[in-house]
Amino acid sequence: MRSDGVNLAYAKENQGVEKLTLESRFFYKPAKGSHSKWIHPKLPKAIIIAGKDGDDAKAYLEKQVNESLEQLKAMEEEETDQ
């Protein structure tokens, strides 16, 4: 678990990745087939999750989610410093 309370071990499955994105105020946008698109109003790039809820999350997806969450945390810290 990270210092901000996000449990990264849970993100090993797509369902866990979706839960993390929801907790971080991402919004779901429908996509084709088994893909789901997650958008955050403060970030320029969407996160695309391929596969069903029980599927294992790919390493690149975990990395993309973690980088997005870190970027959001840095933005929040910057806002509170002002």
Segment 65-80, tens digit of pLDDT: 888 888 988 998 888 8
In a domain, 25, yes or no: yes
pTM of the model: 0.68
Instruction: Choose between 30 and 75: higher pLDDT.
Output: 75
Q: Residue 80 has which token pair?
A: 């509170």
Nearest-angstrom CA–CA distance, 46 and 68: 9
Does the residue 34 lie in any domain? Answer: yes
Residue 48 in domain: yes
Structural domain contains residue 36? yes
In a domain, 1, yes or no: no
The whole domain housing 26 covers 8-81
Q: How far is CA 18 from the centre of its chain?
A: 7
Looking up residue 49, the CATH number of its domain turns out to be 3.30.920.30
Please give the average per-residue pLDDT across 26-53, as a whole number: 85
49 token code pair: 């999750």
Looking at the 3D structure of the chain, how many domains does it have?
A: 1
- Residue 59, judged by CB atoms within 10 A of its CB (0-12, 13-18, 19+), counts as exposed
- Note whether residue 14 is domain-resident: yes
